[in-house]
Amino acid sequence: MNNLFKIPYKQPGATRFAIVLAVLFYFAFPASAQEEVFVDRVFHSAIRSVEFHNAAKEQSLPLITLNSSDELSLRFDDLRQGGRSYAYTIEHCDMNWKSSGLSPIDYLEGFTEDRINDYTVSLNTMQGYMHYSLSLPNQVIKPKIDGNYVLKVYEEGYPERIMLTRRFYVMNPSVVIKPEVIASSQIARRKSNQKINITVEHPQLAIQNPYTDVRLVVRQNSRPDVEQMVDRPNQIRAGVLVYNDLRTLEFSGSNEFRKFDIRTLRLQSERVERIYKDSVNTVQLLPDQPYTASNYSYSFDENGDFFIRNQDGREPATDGDYAYVTFTLEGVPPSGSGSVYVVGKFNDYRLSSDNKLVYDAERSRYYGSMYLKQGLYDYQYVWAESDDPKKTDHTLFEGSFFETKNKYQAFLYYRHPGSRWDQLIGFQEFNN
């Protein structure tokens, strides 16, 4: 463990006492607070480059199998001077990512919280930072039931000062999910959309009422803003549920993600027009054009992912530097009231002032910059209406094609009659 700064250690007895307080706090907590919908989010501008995935594969879905050897890996940077002491906890959620209302005793083995002990200071970088890492489950905190969970990282001793939250999944596989990707049944959308059909086989699981006990969720490219939930199957056979309703599980194919490479800040690489070095690093990307072609053209992408890499050093986690990356999108606004945002997994596909572009009417272009760590990045341009920011369109500047290579994730949730939580009994990731 890095001993750059000291963190007072909590005695096991004190932590056991904390779990009792947590249970009492749970029953005294206002019911309205349990209605919060948990999302992947960073709450402090100094927290950057958050990575959370199954440890077996970088940037994979943060999903593990119950009572297995699977592990999750969390990494992030804190750009503030000096070290910070961070703690974490996990909370069980229902299928809609609200608190399941369970006591920690019901879903946790071990303790309710622990500190993050693995941290390292950056080396030979213009931007100094502390890099933190964590593995879950571990000897201190381990989930003991399946379902959705949220990981909360906060300043130690101050659980209300949350720095970041991350969703993850614990699965108890009980079914087999068989997917199919076809073109839309609607003639007008056959060249632009992808229709998903799902067959669920459950020969060993007796589902009493599939219309009320089971929910199917399908997500495109792990994007929280591109998912659909189906309340009921439209066909039921002995040990089989079929989801092939023509009105559900149809997605815009969109287009392959745009990408740029800043693994090195010494040489201009793909999509990089210019690199400036002064008191900070600045990278100017080549201007982007809206994709207006009527025919699909394949371009390799990572389905929106990003990868921290550094060709200028040896250890990307601690000697990768930061740079202001400037984006330019040429074109006119599609309507009179709205804004353009740059999104990808690197910013959780969230729309905020940090990734909002400014329109220059004289030059008919949008521009903006973001502070990013060296690596490989996928991104898209998204349009959001001013009167309804939740009304977004990621096809206006990108186009949409049936042939686009997308990765889908299908989740099957089950609540047994009389049970108090939603079980995750099936998962399947597949490509079109």
How does pLDDT run across 43-64, given as a tens digit for each residue?
Answer: 999 999 999 999 999 999 999 9
How far is it, in rounded angstroms, from Cα 283 to Cα 259?
A: 14
pLDDT surpassing 90 at residue 335:
no
Report in angstroms the alpha-carbon separations of 201 from 59, 207, 421, 424.
29, 11, 22, 15
For 106-153, write each residue's pLDDT tens digit.
999 999 999 999 999 999 999 999 999 999 999 999 999 999 999 999
Please check the confidence at residue 93 and state whether its pLDDT lies above 60.
Answer: yes
Q: What is the pLDDT of residues 260-269, one digit of tens each?
A: 999 999 999 8
Q: Characterize the bridge pairing of strands 176-183 and 193-201.
A: antiparallel
How high is the pLDDT of residue 228? Answer: 97
The domain limits of the chain are 41-171, 176-254+407-431, 258-393
14 touches 156 (CB < 8 A)? no
CATH number, span 176-254+407-431 = 2.60.40
Query: What is the reported pLDDT for 245?
Result: 95
Torsion, CA 384, CA 386, CA 391, CA 392, rounded to 10: 0
**What is the model's pLDDT at position 336?**
73
Decide: 92 and 421 in contact? Cβ < 8 Å. Answer: yes
Rounded to an integer, the average pLDDT of 281-285 is: 98
> How confident is the model over 236-243, as a mean pLDDT?
96
- Cβ atoms of residues 62 and 79 within 8 Å: no
Report the pLDDT value the prediction gives residue 30, as an integer from 0 to 100. 38
Q: Which of the residue ranges 25-29, 327-331, 354-358 would you say has the lowest mean pLDDT?
A: 25-29
Distance, first Cα to last Cα, the chain: 44
Please return the burial class of 411, using the count of CB atoms within 10 Å of its CB with bins 0-12, 13-18 and 19+: buried
User: What's domain 41-171's architecture?
Assistant: Sandwich (2.60)
- Give mean pLDDT, residues 189-218: 96
Please tell me which residue, 36 or 220, carries the higher pLDDT value. Answer: 220
Confidence of residue 32 (pLDDT cuts 50, 70, 90): very low
Residue 66 CB coordination number (10 Å): 17
pLDDT given for residue 53 in this prediction: 98
pLDDT at 243 over 60: yes
Are 176-254+407-431 and 258-393 equal in CATH topology? yes
- Give me the chain's average pLDDT, please: 91
Q: Calculate what percentage of the chain has a pLDDT beyond 90.
A: 85
Band of the pLDDT at 11, cuts 50, 70, 90?
very low
pLDDT in tens, 351-364: 999 999 999 999 99
Whether the per-residue pLDDT at 174 is higher than 60: the answer is: yes
User: 401-427 pLDDT, tens per residue?
Assistant: 999 999 999 999 999 998 999 999 999
Weakest mean pLDDT among 11-20, 177-186, 416-425: 11-20
* pLDDT value at 35 more than 80: no
pLDDT(24) > 70: no
- The arrangement of secondary structure in 258-393, i.e. its CATH architecture, is Sandwich (2.60)
| Rounded Cα–Cα distance for residues 233 and 214 (Å) | 9
> pLDDT at residue 246 above 80?
yes
Residue 18 pLDDT greater than 70, yes or no: no
Taking only the tens place, the pLDDT of each residue in 152-171 is 999 999 999 999 999 999 99
Q: Which two tokens stand for residue 215?
A: 């929910």
